């Protein structure tokens, strides 16, 4: 939905199952339209679309995008952003580190991302920019050689060039958003800044980098890294890195104890990777690949767990959340609404949450997240 200051808010449809275009479209009809009826029945409603590679290629068949656009118009909906992070299956089976493949060492990732730009440029309304969020290069443990790093930068630049061409041809400005995430190649704000500086140096400060490449600032991910919103955003601005999209999301947080570890055990599920960053009693950060690994380690002071929890969930007992980071970002957006116009709620973990955290119906869950988010935005004059 369109908010104050030309901001756009959506939820990411990666919460729904759907690897083919038929499955994806069925979720839009069965769930997304119900959410719209609950939160924006009479006004244009924004969709944060997730397309797998298979769904994207099927949607790109002759006439399919036109049919979808007619459906959007008929139902008072529009698309301004696509989640192009998970290329393959994302629900119902082990995903873990495979979610990062194909990574940016592969032309398969380039072709998939470029196709998403081709599709998005046909869907995004006039005078609205389009963003595609993507893998932050790769998973750190996949990278073994400097040549892989050079290939990643080269392939990202190929997609920048494509986004620039599509923008020029269609009059719709497109930008790619790398999404820093724990234990990935781009994990922290500093690592992200170094990547951008190296890319600019290799391409003689090509202006297309500033125009068509940015970051998807996921408030769960950077909270897990114990980053401070003001410091992180200041560093991005110092290095002239655009914030292409804000993922409004919250992580688990606990003060480490046997009681908190017992409470976290139900979150150690087999589908997604739940990286843990622990802060020890000396302030040092210790990173663990997955929650089951962390549960076997010595006690630290505090843990941050990469498990997206509902935005409206305020915590239970020893389990806390990182909402303070999200609200800190919204405070900065209040003071500078031009910082980023794309806001997307992303709590894709609904199927694997312990039952006490989730509503029985995903539509109820999403409506509650909208209610919470819109209230926080309204408090800041943004909605």
Which pLDDT tens digit goes with each residue over 115-149?
999 999 999 999 999 999 999 999 999 999 999 99
Report pLDDT digits (tens) over 283-334: 999 999 999 999 999 999 999 999 999 999 999 999 999 999 999 999 999 9
What percentage of the chain has pLDDT greater than the value 90? 99
Give me the pLDDT at residue 373, please.
Answer: 98
- The tokens for 370 are 């909208």
Token couple for 61: 């068949």
Please check whether residue 80 is in contact with residue 342, taking contact to mean a CB–CB distance below 8 angstroms: yes
Question: Structural domain boundaries of the chain?
Answer: 4-250+321-379
pLDDT confidence band for 358 (50 / 70 / 90):
confident
pLDDT of residue 120: 98
pLDDT at position 105 is 98
C-alpha span between 122 and 115 (Å, rounded): 11
CATH fit for domain 4-250+321-379, picks 3.90.1200.10, 3.20.20.150, 3.40.50.300, 2.40.420.20: 3.20.20.150
**Average confidence score pLDDT of the chain:** 98
**Widest CA span of the chain, in angstroms?**
60
Would you call 159 helix, strand, or coil by DSSP? helix
What are the pLDDT digits (tens) for 335-356? 999 999 999 999 999 999 999 9
Do 280 and 286 touch, CB atoms closer than 8 A?
Answer: yes
Per-residue pLDDT at 183: 98
Q: What is the pLDDT of residues 197-250, one digit of tens each?
A: 999 999 999 999 999 999 999 999 999 999 999 999 999 999 999 999 999 999
User: Is residue 279 predicted with pLDDT exceeding 90?
Assistant: yes
- Tell me the C-alpha distance between 152 and 201, whole Å: 15
Model-wide pTM > 0.85: yes
**Cα separation of 20 and 287, whole Å?**
35
Q: Could you give the CA distance from residue 123 to residue 65 in angstroms, rounded to a whole number?
A: 8
pLDDT of residue 360: 83
Q: Check: CB of residue 131 under 8 Å from CB of residue 342.
A: yes
């Amino acid at each position: 939905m369109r908010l104050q200051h030309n901001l756009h808010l959506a939820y990411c449809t990666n919460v729904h199952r759907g690897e083919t275009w038929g499955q994806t479209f069925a979720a839009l009809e069965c769930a997304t339209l119900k959410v719209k009826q609950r939160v924006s029945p009479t006004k244009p409603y924004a969709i944060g679309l997730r397309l797998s590679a298979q769904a994207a290629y099927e949607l790109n068949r002759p006439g399919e995008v036109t049919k979808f656009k007619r459906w959007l118009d008929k139902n008072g909906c529009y698309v301004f952003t696509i989640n192009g992070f998970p290329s393959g299956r994302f629900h119902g089976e082990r995903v873990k580190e495979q979610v990062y493949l194909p990574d940016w060492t592969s032309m398969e990732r380039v072709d998939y991302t470029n196709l998403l730009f081709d599709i998005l440029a046909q869907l995004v309304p006039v005078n609205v920019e389009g963003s595609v969020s993507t893998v932050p290069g790769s998973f750190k443990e996949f990278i073994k050689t400097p040549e892989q790093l050079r290939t990643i930068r080269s392939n990202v630049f190929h997609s920048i060039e494509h986004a620039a061409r599509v923008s020029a041809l269609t009059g719709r400005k497109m930008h790619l958003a790398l999404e820093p995430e724990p234990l990935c190649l781009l994990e922290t704000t500093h690592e992200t800044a170094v990547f951008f500086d190296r890319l600019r140096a290799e391409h003689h400060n090509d202006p297309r980098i500033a125009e068509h490449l940015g970051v998807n600032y996921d408030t769960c991910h950077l909270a897990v890294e114990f980053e401070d919103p003001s410091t992180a955003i200041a560093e991005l601005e110092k290095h002239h890195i655009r914030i292409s999209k804000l993922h409004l999301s919250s992580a688990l947080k606990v003060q480490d104890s046997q009681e908190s570890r017992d409470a976290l055990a139900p979150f150690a599920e087999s589908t997604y990777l739940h990286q843990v960053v622990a802060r020890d009693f000396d302030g040092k950060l210790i990173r663990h690949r997955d929650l089951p690994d962390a549960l076997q380690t010595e006690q630290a002071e505090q843990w941050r767990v990469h498990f997206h929890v509902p935005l409206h969930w305020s915590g239970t007992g020893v389990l806390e959340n990182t909402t303070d980071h999200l609200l800190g970002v919204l405070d900065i957006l209040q003071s500078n609404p031009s910082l980023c116009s794309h806001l997307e709620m992303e709590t894709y973990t609904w199927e694997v949450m312990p039952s006490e955290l989730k509503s029985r119906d995903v539509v109820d869950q999403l409506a509650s997240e909208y209610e919470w988010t819109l209230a926080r935005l309204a408090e800041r004059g943004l909605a």
